Structures are given as C-alpha cells and as structure tokens.
Amino acid sequence: MHKSSLIYVAGHRGMVGSAIWRELERQGYTNLLGRSRAELDLLDRAAVDRFYAEHRPEYVFFAAAKVGGIHANDTYPASFLYDNLQIQTALIDGAYRVGVKKLLFLGSSCIYPKHAPQPIPEDALLTGPLEPTNEWYAVAKIAGIKLCQAYRKQYGCDFISAMPTNLYGPNDNYHPENSHVLPALIRRFHEAKVAAAPSVTCWGSGRALREFLHADDLARACVFLMETYSSPDIVNVGCGTDLSIHDLAHLVSRTIGYQGQILWDTTKPDGTPRKLMDSRRLFALGWKPQIAFEQGIPAAYQDFLQRALNA
C-alpha cells in the first residue's frame, strides 16, 4: 500500500474497524474511506455494488460483521448466520468485480473446533465439531475464509484472512445481554459498585480459559499483514497467553473497585473450555503485541465510563 492509496475500512465505526482507521492514520495513510450503517447497508447487495462502482477502492479491510457474545449467538442463530453470509458475499465478490488490489478478511477464533489442540494452530480448522453456542457465527466466518481462498484460487485475487483472538478496547459493545465477556463484566461490576450490591453473579463455572488482545494491537497486525503477507493460509492473531474467566472477573472487579462477593451460576454454559491461539506464524513474520492486559483493562474501563454511560 502507498500512503495515498484509497483504502476502504468496512465497519470503521466498530471497535476493530475504528482501531484499524486510527492505525492507518497514525502511519500516515491519507486516503481512507468509511461508511456508517445509515450511509451504506451492507445487507443490500445492490447498494454495495453501487458503492464499489462509484469509489473503486484499492484496498479493503473487512472489519464489518454482526457480532455478539454467547447469549446473543444462542438467541439469534438465523440472524448471525444469514446476515454475516450476506455481508461477506457482497463485500468479497464486490471487491473482485471492481478489481480491488488486496482485501483482508477478519475471521474469529470461534472458527476452530470446540476441543481443538491448545494452543490452536491454523491447521485445526475443520478438524472437529464447533462450540454449539456460537456455531452459527463460526460457520459464517468459515464461509468467508473459504470464499477468500476460492476467489484467490479461481481468479487470482490477493484476498487474505486473519483470525483474531478475543478482543477488547475503545468502542467496544457494553450491552448487558449482547456483549462479549470482558465488556459485559466491566458493565456488570460497575453497576454493582454504583448500586452497592453485595454480590455479582457471573455465568458458568469460571474455569474456561480465554486469551485477550487489545483492538489497537489487532489493528497493527492487520496493517502489517496487508503490507507484508500474501497467502491463502489463514493467520492467527493473539498475544500468546490466557487466563481463566474466574481470574478475569476478579481482575475486572479490582480494577473497578467493587468490594462485593463474586458468585458463579453453573447452570449457564462456559462455552469452549479453552481458546488460546497459536500465533507463531505471525510472530515469525516479525509482529508482536505491545499492550499488556494489566494496562489495557483500566483503559477499557475508562472507555466504558466516557462512552457507554453517556450514550
């Protein structure tokens, strides 16, 4: 990419897309293109085609998706599957038809089998059953990966795919029901602190292990891969370490200053027992994360205070 290349960031208002936008600006890229949902409905294929035909971007960062946590995935399976398939088909096929030079598709760690080897290597894809609570989203993301690989194989498109681990950071979704585990815990412990609640009940046993990466680190990885990587093989993007949801809850509680008791509702699902990505392929290319979790959590809480509570 050149600093003046026309770059479309799909989903530039979301946590990941906004981080990519900030990173591109930080590195001196000056010709960025973004559209809000009101300006461009990615479920409207005709509208997507008109957008591509009018602007003809040279590079596309594909950070747009319908996303949510365990509860949202389990409650709205049709929406998660259908909407993501529609968005992916429109953006990937549309990019091919207007001659986009390169596209980076962002998948998810949930594409891997529920009982994948740990850390999870890229070649674990399609080697076992998925985690049932988010299989609809996972199937859609797998389809997006395969679509990129198919367009590369049939048409020679330079379409690549990166698989981020669990993410957090500015512009996260703190919805009480539809958010991922970390922003959900931030909101829950904050509200308990304000209400002086004697206890907070968290889903599951707390034993599940998760890896977390700051969105700004992912953004750096995305720009790095767009500039240096060209292969049909997917690339994991993680930090290389994980922690239990139990420890995560206590870390968030301490960060927020909540003094009450933490209880666990074991009737609720844990999800995948462990999801630690094997990111050695990316590390070997020369990229490493920079934001420590202990530094990122307080910043995420400040983002919640500044944005979510003023919404």
Q: Record the pTM.
A: 0.92
Rounded Cα gap, residues 159 and 150, in angstroms: 9
Q: Which CATH number fits domain 7-173+212-241+277-291: 3.20.20.140, 3.60.21.10, 3.40.50.720, 3.40.50.800?
A: 3.40.50.720
Beta bridge partners of 277: 120
Phi, psi at 14, each rounded to 5° = -80, 180
How many beta carbons lie within 10 A of that of residue 36, not counting itself?
10
| Region for residue 286 given its phi and psi (left: phi exceeds 0; alpha: psi -120 to 50; beta: otherwise) | left
CA 45, distance to chain mean position in Å, is 23
The pLDDT value given to residue 311? 55
Work out whether strand 102-106 and strand 59-62 pair parallel, antiparallel, or are unpaired: parallel
The pLDDT, as a whole number, for residue 272 is 78
- Give, for all 311 residues of the chain, the pLDDT tens digit: 999 999 999 999 999 999 999 999 999 999 999 999 999 999 999 999 999 999 999 999 999 998 877 777 888 899 999 999 999 999 999 999 999 999 999 999 999 999 999 999 999 999 999 988 889 999 999 999 999 999 999 999 999 999 999 999 998 888 766 678 899 899 999 999 999 999 999 989 999 999 999 999 999 999 999 999 999 999 999 999 999 999 999 999 999 999 999 999 999 888 778 889 999 999 999 999 999 988 999 999 999 999 866 65
Q: What's residue 68's pLDDT?
A: 76
Question: What is the predicted pLDDT for the residue at 228?
Answer: 97
User: What sign for the dihedral angle of Cα 113, 116, 120, 122?
Assistant: negative
Cis status of the peptide bond prior to 119, with omega within 30 of 0 = yes
Residue 80: burial class (beta carbons within 10 Å; 0-12, 13-18, 19+): buried
Task: Kindly list the catalytic residues.
Answer: 137
Alpha-carbon distance values, 237 to 99, 122, 144, 213 (Å): 27, 10, 17, 8
